Amino acid sequence: MILLLGGTAETARLSAAIAEAGFEVLVSTSTEIPLPLGNETGVSRRAGPLDVDAMVSLVRERGVRAIVDATHPYASGAHDTARQAAARANVPCLVFVRAAAIREDDPVLFASDHETAARLAVSFNAPVLLTIGSRNLLPYVRAAGPAGIPLFARVLPHADSIGACRKSGLPFSCILPGRGPFTVEENCSVIRKYRIGVLVTKDGGMEGGVRAKIEAAQKEGCRVVAVRRPAGAARSMFDCIPHLVSALSATVPPEIRRL
């Protein structure tokens, strides 16, 4: 059994590729968000958050022989949990990370963290659009409020995401529910409608639609602030599914594969 920690767009392709290599796969996601896994034989799913103790228990109860961490590139807590659980359960942990989509020569202002990005975003005295999810809104709300800067957040249309926005102090009228990735035209429409002057994003890779955000911002004369990815710890990291599956096959003893 391989434990695949997923939730991103690559989860279905990863689970299928691992199953095709001859392994049973248990896909674990932190929420019940719909996930099209198809009908691949040998692939099952569980949902709900796991701390280190719970993940170690799951590994031991289900006979997991390796963990594949395919959570979001910015999910530092999830990566730490996977690494610690793997170490405690004495199983290998292979990490799939989307290749970066933002280039150093892009017309983007980089920030090392959300606090820095928030200060930078409001410094231009223009309406700000957050496209960073719903987990790190508070620094922006705190920076925009005293400065009187209009602040909008585009988040998933789920109760948890909307609730996180409201908890951060963002007015309901400033919450823009939607599921991406969004096209250049869709991004342009939002920028024009709310007169956005600064768009804040993360580098979620090509699958995250970041290139479309940058292109739309350029067309509309909007600045882009990008929060850099967290530095990864020294571990087995892959940005190519076939390479990860090959490494997994070489790491896990053949006798535990699914017949």
pLDDT of amino acid 232 = 60
**pTM assigned to the model:** 0.76
- Of 82-91, 95-104, 180-189, the least confident: 95-104
E strands present in the chain = 2-5, 25-29, 43-47, 66-69, 93-96, 109-111, 128-131, 151-155, 175-177, 198-202, 223-227, 236-238
| Summary mean pLDDT of the chain | 90
- Whether the per-residue pLDDT at 234 is higher than 50: the answer is no
Give the three-state DSSP class for 179: coil
Instruction: Delineate the domains of the chain, giving CATH numbers in brackets.
Output: 2-99+231-256 (3.40.50.720), 109-227 (3.40.50.620)
